[in-house]
Structure 1
Amino acid sequence: MAVPHPDELFLAGGWVPADGGRREIVSPSTGEPVATVGLPSEKHALAAIQAAREALSTWAELPVTERVEICGRFCAALEARLEDMGAVWAVESGMPVRYSRTLHRFAAVAAWRTLLESAGHVLCDDSRESALGDVVLRREAAGVVAAVIAYNGPLVTIASKVLPALLAGCPVIVKAAIESQLIMRIIADCAAGAGFPEGALSILCGDAEVGRAVTASPYVDMVSLTGGRVAAQQIIEATRHRFARTHLELGGKSPALILDDADLTVVLKTLVPGATSGGGQVCAALSRILVPERRHDEIIEVLRQAWEGLTIGDPLDPRTQLGPLASPSVVERTEGFLARAVGDGARIVTGGKKPDGFDGGWYFEPTLVTDVARDSELAQNEVFGPVTAVLTYTDPEDGLRLANDTSYGLSASVYTADWAKGVEYARRIRAGSVAVNAFGPALTAPFGGMKGSGWGREAGPEGILEFTELKQILQGRGGTR
C-alpha cells in the first residue's frame, strides 16, 4: 500500500524525519502487516509546542477572513481525498468504506462547511453600553491548543475540534491515536498545501509518552480531548497546576427510548445504524435500547432479525455494514463484558462470538443482549464494541428514569408516533444531544456531553467560541475617538 510520507512527520507546517521508532500497521481484516511507518518522539512534541508558541501572535492576529481562506483550502483538499481516506481508514481500523462515506460526507464535510461560513460572524466584536462608558466585547484566541483525538473518527474530529480551534486563532498540535497512521498522513498532506503559517499546525500520531509531553507542557494553554475517562483524568491532573483550560468529549452509554406508541418500521431505519455502525466503537452509539415491558417480546424479535441481517465482511467492500474490530484488545474487552453479563443473568439473543467463515482478522458478531439488570456492568459501562443491551421499563416515567440512570450523558434518541411528546421527553433526558425518531448528533450544531461524558462543546458556530477568551474593553469618557 502506498503511504504518503511514511518516514516523516508533519511538524510546524512541514515534513521532518521521524525518529521515534517504527510501527508495523496490521490489517484488522486479516491480521497481516500492510505497512510500516515512522513515529514521533518526545523531541518532536516539544518542537511542535515551541513552534506553536512562536506562531501564536502571527496566526491569532491574522484577519478572520484570512484564517477562513487558509482553512478553506485545507478543507477543499480534504474533500478531494475523501475516497482515499475512507480506503486507508478501512485498512488500518476496520471501519467499512460504506460507513466512512456516510460519516465523512454528512458529518465531517457538513461540519467544516458550517464553520467556514459562520466564523466571520461569531468572531465579530460586540458592543454594550454601561454607566462607565461603552464596552467592546472581543473574542481572542485561547492560546496554544493540544487536540487529542481517538482512532474511531479522526476526520470528523478534525472537522469538529481542530478546525474550530484554528479558526478561533489558536495554533494546534494534534496528538492523534497511534492506530491512525495512514489516514492522518493523508490529512497532514492536505494541510501541507493549505498555506498555514509555520507552527500553526502539527500532527503527531504518537504513543502515550508523546501525548503526556504535549498535555503537560506549561506552554499549552488548552487541551481538548476526545477519548475515555482515564485519559480525561490524566489530563485534568496534568493541567490543574497551571490552570490550563480543558475541553473533554468522553464516552457514552446512550439510550434509545422506544415509547409504547412507536412504529418499529420507523425505529429500525435509524436505530440499527445508530447502535451498530462502526462495530459499536462510537462514543454516541445507542448501546442501551429501552423498551416497554408489554412490547418486549415483539421488539426483541424485530431487533433480532435486523441484527442478523447485517452484512459482515471486508471493510473495503461497499456492501459491508460491519467490518472487524480495531484490535485484539477490543475483541477481548467485548468478550469479557459478555461473559460477565451472562454470569449476571443476561441472555444473548443473537451474536456473541466470532462469525463463521472469518478465520483471519478481529471480527465479532453484532450482539444483542436482553434480561439486563439496570445496575449491571453492561447497563452502566461503555463496552466500545458491538454489544447492545435491551432493558425494559414499566411506564413512561420509568422509561425516563431508566434513560437517565447512568453516569454518562452524551447522546440519546426517543422514538414515538407523537413528535411533540418526543420533544418533551428529549428535554427531560440529561444528555448533550437527543434525537427524536432519528440518530444524532448533527455536527452543524454544537455537540458535547453532560455528567461523566465531559464538558464543553465542539462543532457548529458555538464550537469556535469554545477556543476563545472573552475580553471586555471599557471605553472611558475621556479622550477622543
Structure 2
Amino acid sequence: MATLAAHPVIRLSHPDRLFIGGSWIEPAKGGRIEVISAHSEAVIATVAEATEADMDAAVAAARHAFDEGPWPRMDPAERAAWLRKLHAALEPRVPELVRAWIDQIGSLATVAPFVIGGGMATLQFTIDQAETYPFVETRAPADGHGEAMIVREPVGVAVTIVPWNNPFGIMISKVAGALLAGCTVIMKPAPETPIEAFIIAEAADEIGLPAGVLNLVPSHREAADHLVRNPGVDKVSLTGSTIAGKRVASVCGERLARCTLELGGKSAAIVLDDYDLEAAAKMLTSTIIMSAGQVCATLSRVIVSKHRHDALVEAIRAEMEKVRVGDPFDPATQLGPLALERQRDRVLGYVEAGNAGGARLVFGGGRPLHLARGYYVEPTLFSCVDRSMKIAQEEIFGPVLSVLPVAGEADAIRAANASDFGLYGAVFTHDRESAYRVARGMRTGTVTHNIFRFDPHLPFGGFKQSGIGREGGVAGITSYTELKSILLDAPADV
C-alpha cells in the first residue's frame, strides 16, 4: 500500500491571508476555514476566510486593474505569454495539487495525477488559442462603404466560483479563458477545497502578474452572495448545484450582469438491444464509482429494454461485487470516500428514498463495515426504477446507479428526457447510425458513444436546469467576451 509519506507535503506560503490587489492581506475579520480530510476526517489545513469587506476590496482591486491597468489593453499574445509563465510556475507544484485533491475529497491516488494533468493541459490549450482566436474580424459592410469590424472585447471583472469535486481543473479552466480574453478575475473556491486556488494565486504572485489581475477570496455562502451582488462585477462563472445556479442567475438578472452556469445533472445511459451487456456493465460500474460518483456528468440512470433489464442488473451486480472500497492512497482501491460528511449522509438519505419509493435495492446501500473512518458509501444498485421516482429525478452525487426498464428505443429517449436536467448522456450500441439518431433525440449538452469521456477542446454545458452557456474549448474564451461592431469609413491598421 502507498503511504502518506510517499506523497509530497503541501506547502502554502500564506494560508492565513487573502490575495487581493497583488498582495497577501489579512482577512478583515480574521476568519479561518478548516479543511477536513475525506478519508481520515482530520483537519489537514486552515486557511483565511473572506467576508463581505474582503469581497468589496477584491472587486475594487480587480475593477482598478481592468479600468486603469494594462491587462485588457495588452495584445492577446502578451497575455498568452503571462499564461505561459503561470503554467511554468504551476508545473513543479503538480505533485502538491495531486496530494491536495486526494486529501480533500478522497480522490484515488491512481487517478488524481491524470485529472490534475488534464487541468494543466487545458491551460496549455487556452494559451495556444491566442494565435488563432478571432479577437478581431474584418469584412465588407453591407452597404459596401468603408470597412466593418467585429471585435471581441473582455467582459470586465469576472468572478469564478468552483465546486469542491474538481477544484483545480475547473478553476484553472475558468481562469485561463478569462485571463486570455482580457478580464480580471476573482477566484472564489469552495470552502471545502481551497488549497488549489491558493497554489494558483501563489504561482501568479511568483511570476509577478500585474496587481489586481487575479485575486483569491475563499468564503462561505453569505460572503459569496455579497460578492455576486457587487455592482463592480461584470460576469459570474459558476460551476455548482442547480440551487446555487438559480440563486446566482437571479442576482445577476437584477442588474443584467453576465453569467455562465454549469450545474447539476442526472445523466442517462441508453443501452440498445444490440450491445453486449457484460461490456455495458463494466463501463457503467467503472463510471458510477469514478470519484465516488461525485461528477456532475456521471451516468447515474441506465435505460434498457424490459426484456434485457434483469440480465443487465445481474451483470452490474456482479461487477459491483468486485469493487474494492478503501484507502485512496492504496493502489488497489477502486472506490474511495465521499468528500464530505454531509454528502455521505445525503447519499444514504437517497438510498432510503429509493427503498421507500418502491425500487429494488440489489447491491450496497450502506457504509462499508471494514472502514471505521472516512465518509464511505458502498457502490449501490437499484433496479425496477420508475422514471418518476425521486432517485431517478434528483442528482444524488454518489455511487448510486438506477436501472430503468423501457419499451424500446423511442421510449428510452422519452425516459432519458424525462428529467429537469440535461448535462450529459451516453448511448451504447454497435451501430453508428443508431448512436447518432439517439444522440440527436437526447436533450442534453453532451452525448458519448459506448464510453464515458470528456474532450476539453469541445464546449461543455447543459440544457434545461443543467445550466446556461458553455465552457471549455474555444467557447471557454468566448464566454468571457463581449461582441462589438465597428463601422469605419476606411480600413483600419490593426
TM-score range relative to shorter protein: over 0.9
**2:277–2:311 Cα contact (<8 Å) kept:** no
Residue 450 of structure 1: aligned partner? 463
Asked whether 1:337 is paired with 2:346, we answer no
Residue 153 of structure 1: aligned partner? 166
How has the CA–CA distance of structure 1 residues 280 and 48 changed in structure 2, closer, same or farther, with 3 Å as cutoff? Answer: same
How do residues 190-201 of structure 1 correspond to structure 2 at under 5 angstroms? 190-201=203-214
For 2:26, the aligned partner's letter is P
**1:97–1:318 Cα contact (<8 Å) kept:** yes
Residue 3 of structure 2: aligned partner? none
RMSD of the alignment, in Å? 2.0
Asked whether 1:167 is paired with 2:176, we answer no
Name the TM-score, length of structure 2 as normaliser.
0.93
SS at match of 1:73: helix
2:280 and 2:357 map into 1 onto residues whose CA distance is 29
Residue 230 of structure 1: aligned partner? 243
How has the CA–CA distance of structure 1 residues 298 and 69 changed in structure 2, closer, same or farther, with 3 Å as cutoff? Answer: same
How do residues 42-441 of structure 1 correspond to structure 2 at under 5 angstroms? 42-57=52-67, 58-105=70-117, 107-129=118-140, 130-131=142-143, 132-268=145-281, 270-441=283-454
For 1:95, the aligned partner's letter is S
How has the CA–CA distance of structure 1 residues 477 and 326 changed in structure 2, closer, same or farther, with 3 Å as cutoff? Answer: closer
Residue 11 of structure 1: aligned partner? 20
For 1:99, the aligned partner's letter is V
2:35 and 2:491 map into 1 onto residues whose CA distance is 66
- Which runs of no fewer than 5 residues in structure 1 stay unpaired? none
CA offset digits 1:48-73 (Å, max 9, x no partner)? 11111111142111110111111122
1:420 and 1:198 map into 2 onto residues whose CA distance is 53
1:20 and 1:168 map into 2 onto residues whose CA distance is 34
How has the CA–CA distance of structure 1 residues 479 and 182 changed in structure 2, closer, same or farther, with 3 Å as cutoff? Answer: closer
2:207 and 2:411 map into 1 onto residues whose CA distance is 53
**2:153–2:483 Cα contact (<8 Å) kept:** yes
1:2 and 1:408 map into 2 onto residues whose CA distance is 37
Asked whether 1:27 is paired with 2:20, we answer no
2:206 and 2:25 map into 1 onto residues whose CA distance is 15
Shift of 1:473: 0.5
- For structure 1, which segment, 141-150 or 383-392, has the greater mean C-alpha deviation from structure 2 after superposition? 383-392
2:86 and 2:272 map into 1 onto residues whose CA distance is 44
2:75 and 2:164 map into 1 onto residues whose CA distance is 33
**1:178–1:207 Cα contact (<8 Å) kept:** yes
CA offset digits 1:193-217 (Å, max 9, x no partner)? 2332110111222111221121000
How has the CA–CA distance of structure 1 residues 435 and 479 changed in structure 2, closer, same or farther, with 3 Å as cutoff? Answer: closer
1:370 and 1:261 map into 2 onto residues whose CA distance is 21
**1:229–1:250 Cα contact (<8 Å) kept:** yes
Shift of 1:248: 0.5
Number of aligned residues: 480
1:180 and 1:93 map into 2 onto residues whose CA distance is 8
CA offset digits 1:405-455 (Å, max 9, x no partner)? 111010111111112321221122111111111213311211111111011
Shift of 1:480: 11
How has the CA–CA distance of structure 1 residues 480 and 71 changed in structure 2, closer, same or farther, with 3 Å as cutoff? Answer: closer
**2:146–2:491 Cα contact (<8 Å) kept:** no
How has the CA–CA distance of structure 1 residues 186 and 243 changed in structure 2, closer, same or farther, with 3 Å as cutoff? Answer: same
Shift of 1:43: 2.0
1:290 and 1:413 map into 2 onto residues whose CA distance is 10
For 1:237, the aligned partner's letter is S
1:461 and 1:112 map into 2 onto residues whose CA distance is 12
2:313 and 2:454 map into 1 onto residues whose CA distance is 25
**1:110–1:444 Cα contact (<8 Å) kept:** no
